[in-house]
Structure 1
Amino acid sequence: MFSLLLGIIYVAFISLGLPDSLIGAGWPVMHTQLNVPVSYAGMVTMIIAGDTIISSLFSDRMTRKLGAGMVTALSVLTTAVALFGFSISTQFWQLCLWAIPYGLGAGAVDAALNNFVALHFNSRQMNWLHCFWGVGAAISPYIMSYALTHELGWHAGYWIVGILQVILTIVLFVSLPLWRISTGSQAETNATSKKALHLPEILRIPGLKIALLTFISYCSLEAIAGLWASSFLVQARQVLPATAAKFASLFYIGITIGRFLSGLVADKLGDRNLIVLGSLGVLIGVICIVLPLQQDYFALFGLVIVGLGCAPIYPSIIHATPFNFGAETSQAVIGVQMASAYIGSTFAPPLFGLVANWIGLSIYPWALLLFVILLLGANFKLNQTIDQQHALGK
């Protein structure tokens, strides 16, 4: 039965990735039909990100009250409703309206699922589950492409993904009894029996602020690396646009493949070692990009190495949360971590863009270097703090 539940969670992680790349894939057509500037995509994604942060912060209260299974089912249902709203929108303000439930559903399910997996499954499964998120994120552009090339329109792309989310919602509601097997865990019984923490109380947990810096550093690194890779290669290294686009996409493929490979060794190496090895991999990749060589091969393959290095960091930080902060507070902590993740991934790329507009895109590898050094330093300090707390029996 537990294996069946794990299979359902794998499908749920695919569904997490499905909506994430739809806007980017469809926006070149969407903005012309909606008669708005191309830059308005940022307004929609900011609304989604803002609501995702809010629902992540409230995920602890919702999960304690309803359980991880019910929160997941209701969140996917909310996302499905929002996708259908997108599919019938004919005005830009309607997209902004439907972006609200879109973000609220995404944040709650992300935090609930990640905490459930961190509590009940090993590091291998956490890495492979996040690999399946990448599968979902890779599938949706093909769905949108199918809708556009077959003259069905961008609305149909959202409609198709909405149907997939509805099917998953039904599966999740039917599977709710399977989720209740987790209540046999003493750690989770203690967790749900305790009162939900307020944000100031959560932030006072020893080591949490350092953990949030670790998370923000990583998510800023990943977001900047992925969004600005192609522009850097073209403008700063004079790489052909087609070649740059291919290697920019290989960054995300590197993350997906890297998470599969990390899963093979995760239980042997452990979360801490995976975070350090991944960060060192990113550092090696950044050094390859920085090297002032006439040949572009080092910069191109350096980008792929950065993706491979990024792969285990996010899932390993999440999986280590119950060990670092205790199962009784892990849902609250992961909710705040998810919020910090979205803050980093939302605000770091445009801030980098402003700085790059002033200095130039040649600062791209140096920005990556800054964040990977912050990541390594914060992670080292976090491990020291957690070890001290465990030594004191806290």
Structure 2
Amino acid sequence: MITFILLIVIYLAFISLGLPDALLGVSWPLIRADWALNLDAVGIISIVATFGTISSSLLSGKLIRHFGEGRITFFSGLLTGIALLGYAYAPSYLWLIVLALPLGFGAGSVDTALNHYVSLHFKAHHMNWLHSFWGIGATAGPIIMSNILLRTHSWRSGYTTIAMIQLSLTTVIFLSLPLWKRQASINAQATENDISDEEDMRPQVTGFKIIRVRGVPYALLVFIFYCAAEYAMGLWGSSYLVQVRGITFEVAANWVALYYGGITLGRILSGFISFKLNNKQLILSGICMALFGSILLLLNFNNFTVMLSFALIGLGFAPIFPSMIHETPRRFGKHLSQSIIGFQMASAYIGVALLPPLLGVVIRQTQMIAFPFFVVLCIAILLYLTTTLNRIRQS
């Protein structure tokens, strides 16, 4: 019973993790209009937020050992809620940059901690369903923002509402803290991960030496290019729809929500499909679907096909991240999984920090023409990296 309740709390924690992710991209067309900013000014905010996330992700091992997963999860939600509230009352663009640091820092440790926790103690369907709850948060964010924009035309009201929801979820996590201690004593009986106990006797590889393990560089590059494509869709999708397709801010926000909705629905379905397909099959199937959707986006036939492309890319992306994380202990061994997952999370945030903002600089010169080409290129590279990794780490 404790395990079931704690799993529900972890699901709620991933809703809170997803809530802020798409807000900046959806609200940016109005923010830049209010303050007369360049289109690519959002890249600085993204870089600062991701720097905070990378920092906390790399520190996650020490933080988790010192505070435990429960308190780290609570602190993350609290820090994120306060930062979002700060966005609602930010007097200038500079404050958005400053607040991006705690907003990013709040996501890093909890993301690594919960992903590793579930990859070891639960089966693949739970990992996919866990990430579907991130998708619920990431889908709800743009929907809430778009509805508030329709009523008030104020992005500040949207951030205030999201901050209140975030702090409410954080309160639930706070009330669950005693469960985390009780669960720690029964994890050995509660886990089913199909990993041999002999792996615990293998020598540990720590620090940056982990990159020398055969196949690890490819595993890290997968996260860089996957997260670059996923984040670019959320960050630039709304601006692309407004500028290229001539869609209103409110409708564009709903189409971005459709993209995140595709991720959410896809992860729910992937949880069931994982009973029939293994992680590697789910990953390759998802990449192929996302590649087809991105080609539709590039062809830009009409509004319907563009809308369909957002949904297909979301559906295709759905199983990639959770299945890659869940496959890590099986692909590289339990004795290396915590270190590798920490580096995978850091790589994910590096992909977010470097490539989408760089795309913003290119977009400033090309008027959004580069956006669909970028998405297609990232997914094509992702397909190559994944097939190469599977060949290297055949099991």
TM-score computed with the length of structure 1 as normaliser: 0.81
Who is 1:211 aligned against? 219
Q: How far apart are residue 262 of structure 1 and its match?
A: 1.3
Q: How far apart are residue 240 of structure 1 and its match?
A: 5.4
Q: Which moved more, 1:72-81 or 1:322-331?
A: 322-331
Who is 1:41 aligned against? 42
State the distance in 2 between where 1:363 and 1:268 align.
38
Q: How far apart are residue 93 of structure 1 and its match?
A: 3.2
Who is 2:140 aligned against? 139
Who is 2:311 aligned against? 304
Q: How far apart are residue 76 of structure 1 and its match?
A: 1.5
Distance 1:297 1:15, change over 3 A: closer
Q: Which amino acid aligns with 1:203?
A: I
Who is 2:270 aligned against? 262
Tell me if the contact between 2:242 and 2:248 (Cα under 8 Å) persists in the aligned partners: no
Q: Which moved more, 1:192-201 or 1:61-70?
A: 192-201
State the distance in 2 between where 1:153 and 1:247 align.
19
Q: Which amino acid aligns with 1:372?
A: I
Tell me if the contact between 2:142 and 2:257 (Cα under 8 Å) persists in the aligned partners: no
Tell me if the contact between 2:138 and 2:260 (Cα under 8 Å) persists in the aligned partners: no
Check if 1:314 corresponds to 2:315: no
Q: Number of aligned residue pairs: give it.
A: 384
Who is 1:331 aligned against? 338
State the distance in 1 between where 2:291 and 2:154 align.
42
**Per-residue Cα deviation, 1:240-259 (whole angstroms, up to 9, x for no partner):** 53699465553333222211
Could you tell me which runs of 5 or more consecutive residues in structure 2 were left unpaired when the two chains were aligned. Answer: none
The 5 Å alignment of 1:269-280 reads: 269-280=277-288
Check if 1:241 corresponds to 2:242: no
Matched residue SS, 1:241: coil
Distance 1:153 1:371, change over 3 A: closer
Distance 1:45 1:14, change over 3 A: same
C-alpha RMSD of the superposition:
3.7
Matched residue SS, 1:268: coil
State the distance in 1 between where 2:365 and 2:317 align.
28
Distance 1:5 1:191, change over 3 A: farther
Distance 1:177 1:326, change over 3 A: farther
State the distance in 2 between where 1:234 and 1:275 align.
31
Who is 1:74 aligned against? 75
State the distance in 1 between where 2:24 and 2:73 align.
23
Could you tell me which runs of 5 or more consecutive residues in structure 1 were left unpaired when the two chains were aligned. Answer: none
State the distance in 2 between where 1:158 and 1:75 align.
17
TM-score computed with the length of structure 2 as normaliser: 0.81
Question: Among the aligned pairs, what percent are the same residue?
Answer: 40
**Per-residue Cα deviation, 1:56-85 (whole angstroms, up to 9, x for no partner):** 111122123322222112222222232333
State the distance in 1 between where 2:178 and 2:141 align.
30
Who is 2:388 aligned against? 381
The 5 Å alignment of 1:1-394 reads: 1-28=2-29, 30=31, 35=35, 37=37, 39=39, 40-144=41-145, 154-180=155-181, 181-185=183-187, 199-228=207-236, 241=247, 245=252, 249-289=257-297, 301-355=308-362, 365-387=372-394
State the distance in 2 between where 1:95 and 1:37 align.
13
State the distance in 2 between where 1:267 and 1:157 align.
39
State the distance in 1 between where 2:213 and 2:22 align.
35
